[in-house]
A and B are shown apart, each in its own frame.
Chain A
Amino acid sequence: MRIPLLSMFITSPFSGLQEHAEKVKECAWAFQQAVECYVASQCKRFEEFRQEVVKLESEADAIKRRIRGHIPKGTLMPVDKFQLFMYLREQDNVLDAAEDSLDWLSYRPEPGLPEMLEKDFFLLVDSVIAPIEELEKMVIEARQYFKNYAKEQRNLVKGIIHGLRKMEHEADKLEHSFKQKTFELIKDPTTIFHMIRLAEIIGSIADHAENAGDMMRAMVAK
C-alpha cells in the first residue's frame, strides 16, 4: 500500500552505489591480509581471508542486482541510467579482480611466492589498495555534487578521478617491473606462469578502478 504522490519517489540508486563502494573498500583490507598471509610462511589463515573476500563479493553482487532491479524504465535521475550501470559494472569488476587474484593464488599453495620477488610483489599489491579505497570517497563526493552542483565540488570529484588515473599508471609500472624480474630471476616455467598471470590479475584491479573513474567523469560532465 502506498500513498498518492509519494509513489513518485523511488529508492535512490545512489545510496546503493555508495553501499556497494563500501563493500569494495571493506574487501581491500581482507585482500591485503590474504596476500600477506600467502607470502608469510607460517600464516595459516590465507583461506579464511580469501573466504572473507568471497563473502564480500557475493554481498556486493546482491547490492548490484538490487540496484539494477529497482530502476524501472522511465526513471528520472541526474545521471544517465546507462552510465550508472557501466559505472557499477566497473566498480564491481574491482572486487571480482581482487577475488580472482586470491583464487589464482590458492591454486598453488606450495611453494608460495619466491623470496626474491617478495619486495616487488608487495609494492604491486600496495599500489592497487589505494585505488580500491578511493572509490568510496569518489561516490560520496559525487553524491554531494549532485546535491549542490557547485564548481568546487565538481573539481573535487575530478581530482579524485585524476588521482585514480595516476595510481593506475603507477600500478602499471610496478606490474611491468614485477614481470621483468620474474623472467630475470625465476627459471621454473610453472612458477613463471603463476607469477605473470598473478601480476596481470592484480594489475587489472587498478585498471577497473580507473575505468570506474572514467565513467564517473562522464556522469559529472555538464
Chain B
Amino acid sequence: MPQEYFALILGYIFGFYMAWNIGANDVANSMASVVATKAITIRQAVFIAAVLNIIGATFIGTHVTNTIRKSIVSTDVLTDPHVAIIGTLSALLAAALWVSFSTWKSLPVSTTHSIVGAMIGFGIMAGGFSVVNWFNLAAVAMSWVISPLFSIVIAFVMFKIIVKLILSIRDPFARALKLLPLFVGVTFFIVVLSFLFKTPLGQTLAIDTAAALLIAVILSTFCGITGKLILERIVAPNASNGVEEIFKRIQVVMACYVALAQGANDVANAIGPLAVIYFLAKTGSVGSKVSVPTFLLLFGGTGIACGIAMAGQRVMETLGKKITTLSNTRGFSVNFAAATTVLAASKMGMPVSTSHAAVGGVLGVGLAGGIEAVNFNIVFKIILYWVLTVPASAFTSMAIFKTLRLLF
C-alpha cells in the first residue's frame, strides 16, 4: 500500500506543521502576561513553556481521542478509508494554514475551532450538510461571546479586589502577606479543579464533582499555608516592591499550569487527525474513538515546542520596542480570569478557548484602569478572526479536499 504510506508521511508533515502552529499561536496565552510583567525572561518563558507543553502533551495528554473533535461532524464520513484519509489530511492542512495566517497577523485564534471548522469543511464535502451537528456548532459560536465576557468580568473584579484590599492601603506589603494564603489558595483551587476536570489525565481518574471539590479545597488550603511560609521567607528582604514580588510567584505558578494544560489539551488538535490517518493507513478502518500511541503525543509535543521557540524569537523582537509593561498584580488578574473562565465554561460544556479567555482578561484589567494603554481597537479585529476561524478553515479544507480528490 504505497499510497497509504505516502499519506502517512504527509500526515506526519501536516501534523507537525499544525503542532508547530499551535505552539506559535498559543504560547502567548500562558506566557504573554508573564513576559509582559517581566516576571521571568523570555528565554526562561520559552524554555518553561516548551518543556511543560511536551510533558503535558505526552503524559497528561489524551491517549484516547475522539476522531472528530467536539463531535461536530458525524463519524459516518470516515467509513470509506480512502476518502477519510484524504479528508483528514485536508482538514489538518487547512487548520494549520489558518492558524499560520492568524499568527502572521499576530491575532490569537482558537486552534481547536480551526480544526473543528476544517473537519466541517471536509464533512460537508464528503457527506453533505446533514453530517454537521449544528447544535454543537452553535455552542462554538456562543463561546465567542461568552468566554471573553466572562473573563472580562472576572479580571475586572479580581483587579478591583486587589486594589481595594491591598494596593490602596497604607502598608500594602503587610496586607499582602496577610492575605497571601487566600490568593495562593484560590489559585491552587482553580488549578487543581482544572486539572481534575479539564485535562485528559484528570478525566481518566474520573473523580466526581463533589470529591473533586473536596480534594481541591484540601489541597488549596494546604498550598495556601505552605505558600505563605515559603513566600514570606523569599520575599521579605526586599519589601519595597513586595506586593508585586509576591504576585510574581503566584503568577508564574499559574502560567506554568496553563502551559501544561495547553500541551495536554491542544496536542489532540494536531495529533488527533494524525492518529486517524495512522490507523487508517495501518488497519484500514477507524472508529469514533482512536487510541493515540505515546510516540505520536511526544511528536506533537515536540512540534508545539518548536513553534514556541520560534514565537519566543518574535517576542524578543517585540519587547525590543517599547510596550506597556504590566505589573504582576495585573498579570495575575489576567491569568486568573483566563484560567477560571476556561474551567467554568468547559464545566458547562462550552468549547472555550484559552486564547479567547486571555483576551478578555487583558480587557477586564484595562477597563478597571489597571493598564496604562491597551489597544481596544484590535479587539474587534481579534473577534472578527474568531468568527472567521470556522468558515475560513472549512472553505480551505473543502478546496484542499477537492484538489486532493482530483489527484488521487
Where the two chains meet, the residues of A that have a C-beta atom closer than 8 Å to any C-beta of B are 1-15, 71-78, 146-152
Contact = CB atoms under 8 A, between A and B. Distances in A.
Contacts of A9: 36, 323-326, 362, 371, 373-375
B327 A8 contact: no
A75 B323 contact: no
Interface in B323-344: 323-327
Contacts of B376: 74-76
Given A4-B108, A5-B28, A72-B377, A78 B369 contact: yes
Given A9-B326, A78-B369, 7 more contacts: A5-B355, A8-B375, A9-B323, A9-B374, A11-B322, A11-B323, A12-B322
A149 B373 contact: no
B393 interface: no
A15 B355 CA distance: 29
Contacts of A149: 163, 167-168, 369
B405 interface: no
Contact of B372 (A2, A7, A12, A73): A12
Given A2-B106, A3-B318, A11-B322, A75 B373 contact: yes
Nearest to A1: B314
B358 interface: yes
Contacts of B325: 9, 12
Residues of B contacting A: mostly: helix
A89 B377 CA distance: 25
A24 to B, nearest CB: 20
A78 B372 contact: yes
A36 B174 CA distance: 51
Contacts of A1: 104, 106, 314, 317-318
Contacts of B324: 9-12
A11 B375 CA distance: 9
Contact of A2 (B172, B314, B355, B370): B314
B379 A8 contact: yes
Interface in B160-205: 163, 167-170, 172
A110 B198 CA distance: 83
Closest 8 CB pairs between A and B?
A74-B377, A4-B108, A2-B106, A5-B28, A12-B372, A78-B369, A148-B167, A12-B324
A76 B371 contact: yes
Contacts of A8: 359, 362, 374-375, 378-379
B217 to A, nearest CB: 32
Interface in B362-388: 362-363, 366-367, 369-379
B315 interface: yes
A61 to B, nearest CB: 19
Nearest to B365: A76
B318 A6 contact: yes
